[in-house]
Amino acid sequence: MRLYTSPRAPNPRRVAMFMAAKGITGIETVEVDLNAGGHRSPEFLALNPMGRIPVLVLDDGRALSETRAICTYLEGLYPEPNLMGVDATERAFIEMADRRVELHLMLEIAHCVRHTHPGLAVLEQPQFPEFGAAQGRKMRDTARWLDGELGKHPYVAGERFTIADITAFCALEFARGLMKFRPGEEGMPHLQAWRDRMA
């Protein structure tokens, strides 16, 4: 198999972290230069017409995109350690936590960064700085919610490490680097302690 990735982007990092947590090795990686438009090349668009990374090319040549789909596939091939749930109930609650983090925290961070950071103007045209700033404020509301959740249990989805922790960590690290977001400095001690444990 072959994984198309980019080291600084949060979604490829999620797949890399998922693979590391499972001890998966032997998958070739191909780095895509986003700033040079590598994700818009005809060769890459033949793999993923959405022009997004990561993409996992399977042994039979089919291309699987979307981070969660790639992780679901890898979970099926490498079921241990389990990161997505051992039965229907646990799978549902882990997916709920993961989707909340992905569709709120991570997406709000991405919108903020892509619309406010000058270094990402090449990827987001046109940029809408006011929208980006509003997303940065919404992200903090979501982060406060997550801080409250982590005050009740040690991990994002409950009592053990799962894919939801990977998604949240990669989102926060993206915000840490490009938004200079530090939860502890903004009154979110549980989120800061969790982030430090994950790191």
Predicted confidence (pLDDT) per residue in 100-120, tens digit: 999 999 999 999 988 988 777
Question: Residue 193's pLDDT is what?
Answer: 98
Provide the token pair at 9. Answer: 């982007």
Q: Are 63 and 56 in contact (CB under 8 A)?
A: yes
pTM: 0.94
Copy the structure tokens of residue 10: 């949060």
| Spatial distance between the Cα atoms of 182 and 192, rounded to a whole number of angstroms | 7
Please give the C-alpha separations between residue 10 and each of 60, 76, 81, 179, in angstroms, as whole numbers.
27, 23, 22, 14
What is the rounded distance in angstroms from the CA atom of residue 101 to the CA atom of residue 108? 10
Q: Which residue has the tokens 């947590």?
A: 21
Question: Which tens digit of pLDDT belongs to each residue from 29-73?
Answer: 999 998 888 898 999 999 999 999 999 999 999 999 999 999 999
